[in-house]
Chains A and B, each alone.
Chain A
Amino acid sequence: MRWGLTGAAVAFLGLMLILPLVVVFATAFSKGWSGFSAGLADSDSFAAVKLTLIAAVISVPLNIIFGLAAAWAIAKFEFRGKSLLITVIDLPFSVSPIIAGMLFVLLFGAQGWLGDWLAARNMRIIFAVPGIVLATVFVTVPFVARELIPLMQAQGREEEEAALSLGAGGWQAFFRVTIPNIKWALVYGVILCNARALGEFGAVSVVSGHIQGVTNTMPLQIEVLYNEYKFVPAFAMASLLVLMALLTLVLKHWIEWRSARSLAQIGSGPDRAIAPPR
């Protein structure tokens, strides 16, 4: 019975997860190393990798700042509209990425609300790099905030208050007390955010316009190559994304292990289990 179940699970995982991975790499290397590298050496492919990295490099720090600020406000203060803010943060999770993309087209596109204004100033957002970045930022908004909010709510405000009463300034309390307490959750949120920024397809696809070498990110470039029956280059690029994803998973695993260890070290004694009194 046990073997049967385990076997079924392994077979399913193998079929649904491992086999596709193997196929990606097998196809990418079907014409050998030279075929693989030739598939990536193309200047359009290079531009796609660069654009994807730019989008990630911009959206991840923005996400950290926004996530920290939002989580801080939600966890440590009482204000009107707090639950609305929490809901709004979740919006990118609940709407389809296509809709997110359309939203930006309606706002900034040539026929959009701000289209004339932008055109008059010779600024392009849709079918250009800013649009890609905007769409990526939009779909990644919840990641850091979602990781931090429950943790910071559970931790309460007392340690910061203690720091202030001991004479620390706001930034001192933030860097010496708050950040060390949320360090691992923050890193975890950043990793998830980064993974999504690299892999986003739907929203970016709508705003991109698929201009090869200019507005194609890696996922978009893969689609283009695939549709042109260029299987080896398509899968070569896909293998790069898969590698990044695997690396992210390893990092995530390592973080979880580290934070579990540091939690065990600094403990979850009774002072953590009890909510501060009000």
Chain B
Amino acid sequence: MSIEIQRVTKVFGGFKALDGINLTVPSGELVALLGPSGSGKTTLLRVIAGLESADEGAVLFDGEDATQRHVRERGVGFVFQHYALFKHMTVFENVAFGLRVRPRRLRPRKAEIADRVTRLLKLVQLEHLGNRRPAQLSGGQRQRVALARALAVEPKVLLLDEPFGALDARVRQELRTWLRRLHDEIHVTSVFVTHDQEEALEVADRVVVMNAGRIEQLGTPEDVFHRPANEFVMHFLGNVNVFHGRVEGGKAMFGDLYVEHPVAAGRPGAAGDEPKDAKVFIRPHEWDISAHRNGRPAMEAVVTHVNAAGPVVKLWLLSESGEPVHAELPLDHYRALELRSGQRVFLSPRQVKVFFD
């Protein structure tokens, strides 16, 4: 089922949590709402679910207006960050709940309920734990019970609020991969909220980057990472070095460096135009590092700290003008360069991103 959000606004006592949001989630897609806390992503998810009502705007399911529909009639499965399992019920009872509370004429027979619950527990790999209470499970197991419980009512939309937020790093990683596989298996339209850019980029078909109640960018993980629409997205999707400089005559200048930055005639900073102040963004892995000048425009810097634990080596440097610079390079490059703390190196950016002030 497709979801369409039209000009949705939500205000909490003077605080604009959502500010005229427009978004379409095509049927069968797995979409991540990514943003810092307070960006409105959870509120948007709750508005889709019907747990929160929009002050303005509409929510459409398959083109049909569902704005006034109560949460229990929306047919959504909602997975809470802290699971919200029914503590006094067994795992089996938790999963069966949505079927048991149906009106008598729609309620499956006992044997059928048992059958469906067993199948779902198998799907989430917990078939042997049906008699346990939620408190007797680990966090990852609880989250899978919550997922099975949400799937039991055969929702047309699955909504997950920071589904892995309360789990430790290893379980998080496991569940991420597992959620992606599960989605490929059952193909239910899914929206999940996260503040972890790695999680969003790894799991989702498309990523919605949110900030201050607005959508900053919507695109595939590749899009938002490599072609960020603005400064905010650039910052939010990973570490980045920022330099204040200007664009002049088709070049971006910052510090003692310049890079080609062709600008179409008529746009600010185009050749022959006045110089325009700009910020230059360079991702840590976009630096070429050499021990000697090699003719390319380069920034001189001193290595201050090295972290070589892992396949990618992290370098912290200080440029000539005293700005801290962050760089990453593959382990074999690092070894070939024989870098040490205190060493003078030359940094040339392979790729930059320029946003005007």
Contacts and interface: CB of A to CB of B under 8 A. Distances in A.
Most B C-beta atoms less than 10 A away, residue of A165, A177, A278: A165
Contacts of A265: 133, 135
Contacts of A163: 86, 97, 101
B83 A267 contact: no
A164 interface: yes
Contacts of B37: 277
B76 A271 contact: no
A11 to B, nearest CB: 44
> Which bracket fits the contact residues of B?
35 or more
Given A167-B72, A180-B88, A266 B101 contact: no
Contact of A274 (B72, B142, B166): B166
B82 A274 contact: yes
A165 B72 contact: yes
A166 interface: yes
Given A266-B135, A268-B135, A165 B88 contact: no
A14 interface: no
Interface string B56-74: 0000000000000011101
A168 B97 contact: yes
A167 B139 contact: no
A271 B78 contact: no
Contact of A166 (B83, B135, B153, B165): B153
B51 interface: yes
A212 interface: no
> Which bracket fits the contact residues of A?
20 to 34
Given A172-B101, A266-B133, A271-B142, A165 B87 contact: no
A276 interface: yes
A160 to B, nearest CB: 9
B80 A162 contact: yes
B101 A267 contact: no
A269 B83 CA distance: 12
A269 B81 contact: no
Given A168-B72, A277-B162, A266 B84 contact: no
Contacts of B142: 271
B166 A266 contact: no
A272 B166 CA distance: 12
Contacts of A166: 72, 97-98, 101, 149-150, 152-153
Contact of B87 (A161, A168, A172, A266): A266
A24 to B, nearest CB: 41
A81 interface: no
Interface in A15-61: none
B102 interface: yes
B239 interface: no
Interface in A191-236: none
A176 B100 CA distance: 11
A150 B74 CA distance: 32
B136 interface: yes
B84 to A, nearest CB: 4
Nearest to B82: A271
Contact of A269 (B50, B51, B135, B146): B135
A86 to B, nearest CB: 19
Given A161-B71, A267-B135, A168 B84 contact: no
Nearest to B97: A166
18 contacts: A159-B87, A161-B71, A162-B78, A163-B86, A164-B51, A164-B70, A165-B50, A165-B74, A166-B97, A166-B98, A168-B72, A176-B86, A176-B101, A262-B88, A266-B88, A271-B142, A274-B166, A276-B84
**Nearest 7 A/B pairs, CB to CB:** A267-B135, A166-B98, A158-B84, A168-B101, A165-B78, A162-B84, A180-B88
Interface of B: 37, 42, 49-51, 70-72, 74, 76-78, 80-88, 97-98, 101-102, 133-136, 139, 142, 146, 149-150, 152-153, 162, 165-166
